Amino acid sequence: MLLLAVLASCSFRGITVKENIPYMEEGFLEEMPEKRLSLFVPKRAAEPVPVLVFVHGGSWRSGNKERYGFFGRRMARRGILTVIIDYPLSPAYQVHAMGLATAKALDWVATNSADYGGDPERIVVSGHSAGGHLAALVTLTNRYFDSLGVDNPVAGAALIDAAGLDMYHYLKEQDYAPGTSHLKTFTDDPEVWKATSPIYFLRDDMPPLLILMGGKTYDSILEGTARFLDAYREFEPEPNFKRQDNKRHVPMMAQFLYTPGRAFRWVRDFVLEID
């Protein structure tokens, strides 16, 4: 707790940014594209610092890591080694490829973060919207890490207005026509929907979760988060859940532009308290 108090009360004088580091080569497992990540490294840390890996949103079909440099810089200035990743997008790739890429990035971080002053035993994965879905998925299921032949290194997850927490229920209710955007990502197969819905992998020994949701976000996220929380309470009666009543979906991420904000402090403190 003393370390938390020290880190939370001050900013580092500076950070080092290392951009566009490949974590997955073209043709990995015969089908994956090259993907890269960027590192935001606190300077002059006296001991290894916790690591935060962020997965961007964009409905699984858009977005890139370059948009979130503000998040990496602000977290790094509070003593957190922050990693922003890219991953394969729909329609060229489907959800299992996205989960596999996220796991590959986390394995890269677990293997290499110590070289940048990070503590590989304290890796938190976070994401907004579709990125929150992928963060929850790799936290709660080991299938992608098993495919890579490595251990799951995730010690906690911070979900920011996460989409798709029960994609199986959502897609069944929507009954989309074949070829609809979400089905390009999740396929027409209900078994894939269920296998990629984090709600079905909640368990007793899962890492801690911080769940943030906007009170004015999309109806699908309101409903999906409510269903997820109901299931989560069977394992954790008092979830670490923060509802921001006046926030819509995009402002749930935009608020991290301001370090004095509540959401910034919630995520920062959650990461710093991981042990």
The domain tally of the chain equals: 1
pLDDT for the residue 275: 86
The reported pTM is 0.94
- What would the pLDDT profile of 71-101 be if each residue is shown by its tens digit? 999 999 999 999 999 999 999 999 999 999 9
pLDDT for the residue 46: 84
pLDDT for the residue 260: 83
Phi first, then psi, for residue 205 (nearest 5°) are -100, 25
Q: What is the CATH number of the domain that holds 120?
A: 3.40.50.1820
Q: How far apart are CA 56 and CA 130, in angstroms?
A: 7
Q: Residue ranges of the chain with pLDDT lower than 70?
A: 1-13
Structural domain boundaries, residue 136: 2-273
